[in-house]
Amino acid sequence: MSQTTLGDDELFGEAAEEMRADVEEHLDQARAELPAAADVWETEADNVLGVLNGLRSALDAGDAEEHLRQAKKWYTMGERADAFEDAADLAAAIEDLESLIDAIGEAHDDVSDLTNAIPELRGSLQEFEDEETEE
């Protein structure tokens, strides 16, 4: 084996370690952006709209999607370069995090829909009650 090949293999090994570290770092940063379970569950609102607004805010995943995207990018590069000896743990972590972020996004959308619908429904009910009182 020539000196160049040994140096290239060593550099490739270092690059693979750095790539794995980048993936792990972005996964950690994505996890840190996720809402806390208590923030999604507990509330101190005075009415339903306050609860919904608080929940909608709590369901903000911040930059988790961007960090996940970066993790997936570096993971894909490492996989294609066959740089990882065993990357099953990274693949599983990416998949789990992606599913969780998708679920948070769907819940956020559902709560947003309710947040918009409840005031309209309240207004309609109030009008109905007022009409009933007038008769």
pTM for the whole structure: 0.84
- Ramachandran sector of residue 67 (left: φ over 0; alpha: ψ -120 to 50; beta: rest): alpha
Yes or no: say if 43 and 112 are a contact pair by the CB < 8 Å rule. Answer: no
Q: What pLDDT does residue 7 have? A: 75
CB neighbours of 118 closer than 8 A, spacing ≥ 6?
48, 49, 52
Tens of pLDDT, residues 78-98: 999 888 888 999 999 999 999
Overall average pLDDT of the 112-132 stretch: 94
Tens of pLDDT, residues 18-70: 999 999 999 999 999 999 999 999 999 999 999 999 999 999 999 999 999 99
| Count of positions (residues) in the chain | 135
